[in-house]
Amino acid sequence: MIACSSISRALGLMGLLAGLLGQTHAHASSPTGSVIAFDEAGSADLVLIEAGLREGFRQGMSCIVSREGRYVAELVLVESRQFTSSALIVGMTPGQRVSRGDVVVIKTLKGSN
């Protein structure tokens, strides 16, 4: 279970990241993972990702979820372990849902390599 303090800390970092020029994108060479489970029944929409510290996923990072090359959702990582990460859904395309197998890519600032 993810502690409320971890979620609060992640949301604070997300706000800080969003303020940086307001321009980010998913870079082709960014670490990627895939959605392996999600729980939308609770008060917070949480996603389990098959990618973790080994792939460069770190707590507080912002990620993009896509399916067949189309934007589905935005996540903030609230916990990272060796092979998996947990994330909070912070934005979603209307009418879309996060699904098992969706691609997750870490967002980077435009112009960064």
Domains in the chain, CATH or no CATH each: 4-109 (2.40.10.340)
Average pLDDT, rounded, for the chain: 77
- pLDDT on residue 40: 60
Structure pTM?
0.69
CB under 8 A, 24+ apart: contacts of 89-98: 89/45, 89/46, 89/47, 90/11, 90/14, 90/62, 96/72, 97/40, 97/72, 98/35, 98/38, 98/45, 98/47, 98/65, 98/72, 98/73
Query: Is a pLDDT exceeding 90 seen at residue 5?
Result: no
- Write out pLDDT tens, residues 26-60: 444 678 999 998 876 655 689 999 999 999 999 99
